[in-house]
A and B are shown apart, each in its own frame.
Chain A
Amino acid sequence: MRRILKLLVAAAVIGVAVGLWLTAPDRVAPERFASLSGDVAAGEKVFTASGCASCHHVPGAEDKLILAGGMAFPSDFGTFYAPNISPDPSAGIGDWKVIDLANAVMKGVSPKGQHYYPAFPYNAYNKMTDQDVADLFAYLQSLPADATPSKPHDVGFPFNIRRSLGGWKLLFFSDDYVMDVPADLERGRYLVEAQAHCAECHTPRNALGGLDTSRWMAGAPNPSGKGTIPALTPDKLTWSAEDVAYYLESGFTPEYDSVGGHMAEVVDNFAHLSAEDRAAVAAYVKALPAPKADTSGSSSY
């Protein structure tokens, strides 16, 4: 069954890829960044909220700011490895310009014009402001360089053809926000949807690996094995906003269990942000609607 599903998915991806052969990568207009200058301290906040180190640090290393990559991301399509994004000019991104980083995080496109895989959550980062990306660039350049080469991905045909991602992007790439919110929730939405990419883990995916926005934050199978990633929607999560903010700060649930798994890295990051930002995220979480009934019968729970 699973095999058939995979073949169908493969066929669909090829179909989309061939049908949309003209899906050339879209780029950021360079003028947007010409007059912006980046601020290292502000960039550190963007970096922390966005969880860049959580994926790009060396697995098991003490120093999480050496972004030499190597962490594995298993998926239905194969295993991806986070690349080296330290400022080393050959192994990392030391020779990049701010516009290269903008194209990577906001368009999912490499300096050579290839599509990145969405395991790199650019479908969230594409909502970031230009200034935040400029600040982020300044901060990344201030980190230590490391010459360890990036590990190649372990993905089979047809997913190893980056061109076929053009089809995926046409289906799922969107820099529109998922949730409509009043003005006082905009900061929370920015943190959740544009930076902290909470939905990448907490939202189930459809057969093509796109987030099922009709079940936004409704919980999902754990991609790296046992268990499920819990729902944040009000039908399941009964915590108060204060509980959510305290969890993001301390890792403690209302029952004083303590956070685990990949969420521990999210908490490590949010513990370093301001109380206002944690409260803003909590307010967004509390505003989530209950999900629509699951009719897909696919990978969602």
Chain B
Amino acid sequence: MKKSFATVAVLATLATTAMAEVPQAVKARQGQFNIMALNLGILGGMAKGQVEYNAEAAQAAADSLVAVSMIHQTALWPEGTDADSIEGTRALPAIWANIDDVVAKWGAFGEAAKAMQAAAGQGQDQIGPNMGAIGGSCKGCHDTYRAPQ
């Protein structure tokens, strides 16, 4: 996984440097994050009691989080797509200097998503504690690797 991350990163550099527009890989990774946020919103609304609990919808949202966590990240992070090199991204260059750590943090999100998957269909009160763990995994990556808007 790690190795292929690096090789594709090098190849993809060649493909993106010439483009002036926001590269497709950047749009794709931002899209993946928005899918995560959307599904967390469904779960969060239920956890807070703003939306009525529905086991099926909760399960579907949690399943989607797990599905996103399984997308291979390699193609989404070509080298040269950091915020110092191009417009339209908040990805900090530190990502490419600490690939192992970033992969570990992405893995931590996957673990938290799996725990949510096991719990979300079991009742409204099961969501809240897992929201905390997932939120911690998002925050733990955004604190070092994402610039403010």
Contacts and interface: CB of A to CB of B under 8 A. Distances in A.
Interface of A: 222, 225-230, 246, 250-252, 255-265, 267-268
A222 B149 CA distance: 10
A293 to B, nearest CB: 22
Contacts of A229: 148
Point out which of B38, B48, B142 has the most chain A C-beta atoms below 10 A from its C-beta.
B142
Interface stretch (B1-9, B21-29, B115-123, B132-140): B132-140
13 contacts: A222-B148, A225-B147, A226-B92, A230-B149, A251-B138, A252-B44, A256-B38, A256-B44, A260-B148, A261-B143, A263-B148, A264-B140, A267-B139
A180 B52 CA distance: 40
Given A227-B149, A230-B148, A258-B138, A252 B40 contact: yes
Contacts of A260: 139, 142-143, 145-148
Contact of A264 (B33, B48, B139, B147): B139
- Interface extent on B, as a size class? 20 to 34
Contacts of A225: 147
Contacts of B33: 257
Contacts of A262: 143
Contacts of B44: 252, 256
A256 B37 contact: yes
B83 interface: yes
B124 to A, nearest CB: 17
Nearest to B33: A257
Interface of B: 33, 37-38, 40-41, 44, 48, 83-84, 90, 92, 131-132, 135-136, 138-140, 142-143, 145-149
**What does DSSP make chain B's interface, helix, strand, loop or mixed?**
helix
Contact of A226 (B37, B84, B143, B145): B84
A265 B143 contact: yes
Closest 6 CB pairs of A and B: A260-B142, A258-B138, A264-B143, A227-B148, A226-B147, A256-B41
Contacts of A257: 33, 37
Contacts of B92: 226
A121 B90 CA distance: 28
Contact of A227 (B131, B145, B147): B147
A15 to B, nearest CB: 35
Contacts of B138: 251, 258-259
Nearest to B45: A256
A63 to B, nearest CB: 16
Contacts of B40: 252, 256
A255 B37 contact: yes
Contacts of B149: 227-228, 230
A225 B41 CA distance: 30
Nearest to A242: B48
A261 B148 CA distance: 7
Contacts of B142: 258-261, 264
Nearest to B43: A256
| Interface-central residue, A222, A251, A263, A267, by most chain B CB under 10 Å | A251
- A230, A264, A268: most-surrounded residue (chain B CB, <10 A): A264
- Which one of B48, B92, B140, B148 has the greatest number of beta carbons of chain A within 10 Å? B148
A226 B90 contact: yes
